[in-house]
């Protein structure tokens, strides 16, 4: 990993994102894009738009020496892997199929053994925005981003996913406490929104896989925000385990965790 520059990682992520964007443009907002064509490595149905997006990424990566961990096909070794890419080809598939302008591709660059994230990249396709981070600084296009400075839940805007009877107390507490609750349907972009101060926090009580959130972790780390999965999840379990997650600007993190722990 040491011999690879962050410019290299940014370049390869951009090539993947560009190829995905080109491949899906004719099926965004179409019935064909939403057709189920199989079951992905994560156990969920693979829609046509997901399939062609991953296929475009694989074509772009021909000749590289990487290990690709993708939501659709699982682990794919290409050449003699020097590093790993954790890829969600289309995050927010429902939005893309319905032409709701909130979906992305999410890519995290890790060491070969999946011990550490080195680089995160999220492309917001509808708005042509690029988020990227070297885990020391985080950027939206060419501008450094920072989380909000909101200190109290009563002033906070929170993205929230909470389903099932065991989350009723969390639902009630949040509704009665925070300023705003939102659910956008694209976790990678929502984590970028926390990192850039557009949202103050995010709670997912359903459970997300690391493959969905790995790039977002890089952004939050790079800008000084906070993230945790419950229980703590290893990168190597990216396609296997669903974990509750909390992300925040850092200033309201303990309060959000208290709500989750009390309502779990």
pLDDT of residue 165: 47
pLDDT of residue 3: 55
The pTM (predicted TM-score) of the whole model is 0.92
> Would you kindly state where each structural domain of the chain is located, as residue ranges?
6-144, 153-263
- 3-state SS of 239-260? CCCCEEEEEECCCCHHHHHHHH
Query: Which phi-psi region, left, alpha or beta, contains residue 99 (left: φ > 0; alpha: ψ -120 to 50)?
Result: left
pLDDT of residue 206: 83
pLDDT of residue 205: 86
User: Residues 252, 151: contact at Cβ < 8 Å?
Assistant: yes
CB burial class (10 A; 0-12, 13-18, 19+) of residue 74?
A: middle
What is the DSSP-derived secondary structure letter of residue 148?
Answer: -
User: Residues 144, 133: contact at Cβ < 8 Å?
Assistant: no
Q: CA-CA distance, 69 to 87, in Å (whole number)?
A: 6
pLDDT of residue 167: 65
pLDDT of residue 233: 60
pLDDT of residue 2: 45
pLDDT of residue 174: 83
The tens place of each residue's pLDDT in the chain, 264 residues long, gives 445 678 889 999 999 999 999 999 999 999 999 999 999 887 888 999 999 999 999 999 999 999 999 888 889 999 999 899 999 999 999 999 999 999 999 999 998 888 889 999 999 999 999 999 999 999 999 899 999 999 999 999 999 998 654 566 677 778 888 999 999 999 999 999 999 999 999 999 888 888 888 999 899 999 999 998 876 666 655 556 677 889 999 999 999 988 887 655
pLDDT of residue 43: 80
What's the residue count for the chain? 264
User: Residues 233, 36: contact at Cβ < 8 Å?
Assistant: no
User: Residues 2, 43: contact at Cβ < 8 Å?
Assistant: no
Q: CA-CA distance, 121 to 219, in Å (whole number)?
A: 8
pLDDT of residue 92: 95
Select the CATH number that applies to the domain covering 153-263 from these four: 3.40.190.80, 3.30.300.30, 3.90.550.10, 3.40.50.2300.
3.40.190.80
Fold of 6-144: Fructose-1,6-Bisphosphatase; Chain A, domain 1 (3.30.540)
pLDDT of residue 1: 46
Q: CA-CA distance, 11 to 26, in Å (whole number)?
A: 25
> Rg for the chain (alpha carbons), in Å?
18
For Cα atoms 87, 53, 83, give the angle at the middle one, nearest 5 degrees: 30
Nearest residue to 132 (alpha-carbon basis) of 200, 209, 53, 188:
188
């Amino acid at each position: 990993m040491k011999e690879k520059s962050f410019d290299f990682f940014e370049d390869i992520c951009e090539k993947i994102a560009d190829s995905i964007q080109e491949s899906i443009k004719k099926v965004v907002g179409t019935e064909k894009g939403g057709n189920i064509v199989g079951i992905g490595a994560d156990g969920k149905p693979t829609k046509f738009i997901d399939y062609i997006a991953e296929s475009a990424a694989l074509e772009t990566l021909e000749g590289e020496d990487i290990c690709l961990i993708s939501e659709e096909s699982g682990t794919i070794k290409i050449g003699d892997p020097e590093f790993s890419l954790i890829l969600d080809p289309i995050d927010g598939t429902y939005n893309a199929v319905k032409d709701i302008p909130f979906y992305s591709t999410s890519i995290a660059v890790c060491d070969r053994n999946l011990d550490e994230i080195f680089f995160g990249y999220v492309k917001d396709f509808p708005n042509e925005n690029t988020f990227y981070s070297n885990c020391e600084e985080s950027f939206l296009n060419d501008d450094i981003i920072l989380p909000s400075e909101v200190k109290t839940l009563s002033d906070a805007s929170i993205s929230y996913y909470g389903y099932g009877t065991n989350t009723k107390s969390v639902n009630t507490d949040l509704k009665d406490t925070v300023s705003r609750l939102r659910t956008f349907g694209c976790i990678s972009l929502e984590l970028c929104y926390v990192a850039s101060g557009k949202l103050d926090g995010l709670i997912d009580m359903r459970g997300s896989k690391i493959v969905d959130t790995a790039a977002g972790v890089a952004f939050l780390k790079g800008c000084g925000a906070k993230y945790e999965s419950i229980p703590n999840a290893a990168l190597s379990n990216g396609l296997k385990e669903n974990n509750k997650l909390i992300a925040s600007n850092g200033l309201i993190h303990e309060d959000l965790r208290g709500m989750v722990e009390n309502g779990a």
